[in-house]
Amino acid sequence: MKVLVRIAALFLVALSLFLGSPAYASSPAATSRSAIENEDFANANFAGRDLQGAEFTQVNFRNADLSNTDLRGAVFNSSQLQNSNLHGADLSNGIAYLSKFNEADLTDAIFVEAILLRSTFDNAKIDGADFSFAVLDGPQTKKLCASATGVNSVTGIATADSLGC
């Protein structure tokens, strides 16, 4: 089953890269239909914002506050999210490719059906995070399983169960 999910996810990534799609972003740099590229949002406050479907390419979110942010369907491509606060954020059906979540606070975050290939989560806090049906690289899943604790307050799914630990 996991093999079929991975194949489907890779197909969807390839299709989205081939077709491309404009994104709707609600950030200081974009208030209309556009994609955000090469912006520096280090230390910025996006807490509670609706960023559904936003597309971020090579964007710096280091130390940014993205807590309780609606990131459903958002795309992070080669973005830096080190030490950012994504506590309670919802990245369901999103894509994070080649992005760094190292030392980020992902407590109670939702990554249901997200594609997180080639992204890293070193020393990230994942207590209560829900990764159900997310596609991650095997070594990252193994690292996350080593620190998987808690139950997501919205979905009721245990972090370890959502990772298949």
pLDDT tops 70 at residue 147 = yes
Q: For residue range 53-83, what is the model confidence (pLDDT) as tens digits?
A: 999 999 999 999 999 999 999 999 999 999 9
Q: Among 104, 115, 113, which residue's Cα sits nearest to residue 155?
A: 113
- Calculate mean pLDDT across residues 93-121: 98
Q: What is the pTM of this model?
A: 0.81
| pLDDT at 151 (0 to 100) | 98
Tokens 């919802």 belong to residue: 90
